[in-house]
Each structure stands twice: as structure tokens, then as C-alpha cells.
Amino acid sequence: MISWFFNVFFYKPLYNGLIFLLYILPSWADVGIAIVLFTCLVKLALFPLSQKSIKTQIKMKEVEPEMAAIKEKFKDNKEEQARQMMEIYKNKKINPFSGILVLFLQIPIILALYFIFFQGGLPIIDSGMLYNFIPKPEFVNMNFLGILDVSKKSAILAFLAGITQYMQARLMPSPQKKPGVESTFQDDLARSMNLQMKYVFPVIIFMIAWNISGAVALYWATSNLFMVGQELYVRRKFKKDQNNSQPAVI
């Protein structure tokens, strides 16, 4: 059942999408360019969910002082502490789990790309995998910009994937230790996770991308760059909307 769902809703649509892009692109275009365009299209489709997730992060950063006060006030009553915190989330219309859906959607896309390039999907086109309305291109160029073969491992693209992951992680809000407030295990764990996301996770991404293929690394790097631009745009727009919503001082 899981295999059928993955093939029907991720692998085949992604495979057909790439083939269609290769068909409609100019003859000089390659698989790498198709992957970049495809990644941007996927990110645009996920933009409403991503925008909501970024706004949630901003709002959660804003209510950190209130959360710290609640933790200190009800440190001996965890049940009341949780209730008070959920009340703030409710009043501020914050869903702390809004970013999980976007993450879960990314995983099968990366897996589908992996199977496309390691199960004979490209450069040899499997006509049996194509939809009836998808034409088959005569030639598939695997050399990105005429330099890098994306069907093979690429240290350059893997490095780009890792460094762009670091750039994205740098934009994540960092949990700060409040002076005079006792640090809890959850606070220490959050700070530890934040540091790992910034400095350890990019290294892991580099190692994974290097050991899979240039195609997946290129997808990851493009995805990260898109998300960096997206986050800067949403944060700027959110700040502008907040300023416009404030009453003018006469």
C-alpha cells in the first residue's frame, strides 16, 4: 500500500514532470536545469504552507518572554504550565506544528529523485513509466551546464547543498536563555537542537548528498536557496504588515 502510494503520488508524477520539462526546454537545456526549474515549481506550490510555518516561527519568537514567565511561575505545576502555554498559542493563533507538514512533503520528493537516478530512470527513459500525454524527448543531457554529470556523485554540488543548508539554518530563530530564569531540560534541548541544525546538520547533508548523486545534491541546494529567499521575503512582508496595522501616532 505504501509502495503504491509512493509510486502513484510522488515517483511517477516527479518522473513525468522532469521528462516533460526536458521535452519543452530548448535543446541546449540539460537535466540539471530541469531539476532547478522543477524544484522552484515545487517550492512555489508549497509556498502557502511554508509561509504559514515562517510566520508561526516569528510569532513564537515574539511570545518567548511570556512563555518564560509562565515556565517560571508554574515550574512546580507542569500541567498548569502546559495549559497556560496552550492558551497563549490559542489567543495568538499559533500552531507550533505547522512546519511539520512541509518537512514530511520534502522527504518523499528526495526519495523519488534518488530512485529516478539509481533505478534506471535517467538518462535512459522508461516509456512504461510515462503518462500517455507525456512526449518522450529524443536526447537527455545529464551534464549540468556542460560541466557536472548529475547522475554521478559530485563533491561540488554536495558542498553547495551543505553550505546552503547552513545559510538556511542561520535564519532560524535561536532560543535565548533568559537572565534570572532557571533553565529547564526543554530549554537546553532546544538550544542544543538549534546548534546542531546550524553546524552539524549541514555536514550531514553534505555527506548524504556526496554519497547519493549530483541530482539530489542539486535539488537540495536549489531548495535551500529558494527557502532562504522565501524566508527573507516573508519576514520582510510580515514586519511591513505589522507596521501598517499599528495605529498612527498623532
Q: What is the pLDDT of residues 208-247, one digit of tens each?
A: 888 888 888 998 899 899 989 998 998 888 788 777 766 5
Written in H, E and C, the secondary structure of 98-167 is: HHHHHHHHHHHHHHHHHHHHHCCCCCCCCHHHCCCCCCCCCCCCCEECCCEECCCCCHHHHHHHHHHHHH
Mean pLDDT of 19-37: 89
Q: Is 234 domain-assigned?
A: yes
Beta carbons of 137 and 22 less than 8 angstroms apart: yes
Average pLDDT, the chain: 81
Q: Is 250 domain-assigned?
A: no
Q: How many Å is the Cα radius of gyration of the chain?
A: 22
Mean pLDDT of 87-111: 77
The 8-class DSSP code of residue 196 comes to I
**Which tens digit of pLDDT belongs to each residue from 178-201?**
555 555 555 665 667 767 777 888
C-alpha cell at 139: 536526447
Q: Is 249 domain-assigned?
A: no
- DSSP tally for the chain: helices H, then strands E: 11, 2
Q: Is 189 domain-assigned?
A: yes
pLDDT of residue 94: 81
**Is the pLDDT assigned to residue 162 strictly greater than 90?**
yes
Spatial neighbors of 21 by CB under 8 A, at least 6 apart, are 34, 37, 38
Indicate the range of 36-40, 72-76, 203-207, 221-225 predicted with least confidence. 72-76
In the chain, what percentage of residues exceed pLDDT 70?
Answer: 86
> Distance between CA 233 and CA 227 in Å, rounded?
10
> Distance between CA 224 and CA 220 in Å, rounded?
6
pLDDT of residue 157: 93
- Pairing type for strands 143-144 and 148-149 reads antiparallel
177-194 burial, b for 16+ CB within 10 Å, e for fewer? ebeeeeeeeebeeeeeee
Mean pLDDT of 148-159: 90
pLDDT of residue 182: 56
pLDDT of residue 128: 86
Q: What pTM was estimated for this model as a whole?
A: 0.77
**Which tens digit of pLDDT belongs to each residue from 115-126?**
877 665 678 888
Mean pLDDT of 168-175: 75
pLDDT of residue 180: 53
Domain with 232, as residue range(s), is: 2-244
pLDDT of residue 161: 93
Domain count along the chain: 1
Residue 54: band (very low, low, confident or very high) from pLDDT cuts 50, 70, 90: confident
Q: H-helix or E-strand containing 183?
A: none
At 113, the amino acid letter reads: L
Q: What are the C-alpha distances in Å from 99 to residues 54, 82, 107, 169?
A: 8, 20, 13, 14
